[in-house]
Amino acid sequence: MKKHKGKIQTGIVIGIFSVIIIACLISIFSRLYAENKEKEEFRQLAEVVTEETTEATIEEIIKKPNLFKVSDCENDVGDKSPVSYTTCYEPHSISELVSMNSECFGWISISGTKINYPVMHTPSNPQKYLNKNFYGEYSFSGTPFLDARCSADSTNLIIYGHHMNNGTMFADLCNYTDYSYFSEHPTVVLETKDGVFAYSVFSVIKVKSDDDWYRFKTVGTEKSYNSRIEYAKEKSILRSADFNALNLLRIQSG
C-alpha cells in the first residue's frame, strides 16, 4: 500500500514538473517569436521611411552639433559654428515618421551595427516607450526614447534603449568594449526635424543608474563641460585619443 502511494506521489511530482517545464518552454518560444516579430516590424518601418539614395549620394556632408550656447568668464565659445563632417548613413524621412506618430523625435543609427531605430520623446510620460513599439502597442523590445528632461534645444541628449538577447535594439553597444569594434564604428548619426547630426564616440563607460553621469542635461559653461568630459575619461573602459570636445550624445543600453 505504501509503495503504491509512493508511486502516486512520485507520479504527481513528475506531472507537476512536466507541466512547469512545458509552460516555461511555451513562454520562451512565445517570447522569441514576439521579439523576432518586433524585429521585423522595425525593419519594415525602416524600409518605409528610408529615403531613396544612390551609392554616390549616400555619403553626405552633415553637421557636428555645436553644443556650446553660453560663454564662461575665460573663454568665449558662443561664436563657434558647427563644423562639416563626412560620414555614411541611410537618410530617413523624419517628416513621414512624425506624420505616422507625432511623438517621434528622430532616427538614430550607427553604420555597420544593428542600431537603426526611431527615437521617441514623451516628456509628460517619460517611460511610455519602454515597452511599446513605434505604434504604441505593447512590445518586449520597446522603442528607443529620449530622456524626458531633454529637448531638441538641450546641449546634452540622453537616449535609452533595451539590450535584447536576440541582439536587437541597443545590444550592439556592449561590443564597444572591444577596441577594434570601437575603432570601426566611430560615429552615431541622429536625424531630427532640425537636420542630421554626427556624434563621435569618444568614450565607453559602464556606470549605475544613480551615477552622477546621469544627473546633468545641460553643458553650462565650457569649464563645467570639460569637467564632465574629464569624468567620462576617468571612468572610460575605452576612449578616443582625438576627442575634440564639440559634442555629446549619451546612449544607454539596459
Confidence (pLDDT) at 2: 52
Pairing state of beta strands 249-253 and 157-161? parallel
Confidence (pLDDT) at 245: 41
Confidence (pLDDT) at 164: 87
Pairing state of beta strands 59-64 and 83-88? antiparallel
Domain definitions of the chain by residue range:
45-253
* The three cell numbers locating residue 147: 530622456
Rounded Cα distance between 236 and 254, Å, is: 18
Residue 233 belongs to what H/E stretch? Answer: helix 222-235
124, 140 in Cβ contact below 8 A? no
Nearest Cα residue to 111 out of 171, 203, 184: 184
Residue count of the chain, please give it: 254
Confidence (pLDDT) at 97: 95
Rounded Cα distance between 151 and 163, Å, is: 24
Q: What is the mean pLDDT of the chain?
A: 75
Rounded Cα distance between 133 and 222, Å, is: 38
CA dihedral of 143, 147, 151, 157, whole degrees rounded to 10: -100
Please give the single-letter amino acid code of residue 189. Answer: V
116-144: per-residue pLDDT in tens?
Answer: 999 999 999 999 999 999 999 999 899 99
Confidence (pLDDT) at 58: 37
Please give the single-letter amino acid code of residue 162. Answer: H
Confidence (pLDDT) at 210: 78
55-113: per-residue pLDDT in tens?
Answer: 433 344 444 444 333 333 233 333 444 445 566 778 899 999 999 999 999 999 998 99
185, 176 in Cβ contact below 8 A? yes
To which CATH superfamily is domain 45-253 assigned?
Sortase (2.40.260.10)
CB burial of residue 158 (10 Å; 0-12, 13-18, 19+): buried
Average pLDDT score over residue span 150-168: 86
136, 100 in Cβ contact below 8 A? no
Rounded Cα distance between 165 and 162, Å, is: 9
Average pLDDT score over residue span 177-191: 89
Q: Which residue has the higher pLDDT, 35 or 241?
A: 35
Confidence (pLDDT) at 219: 66
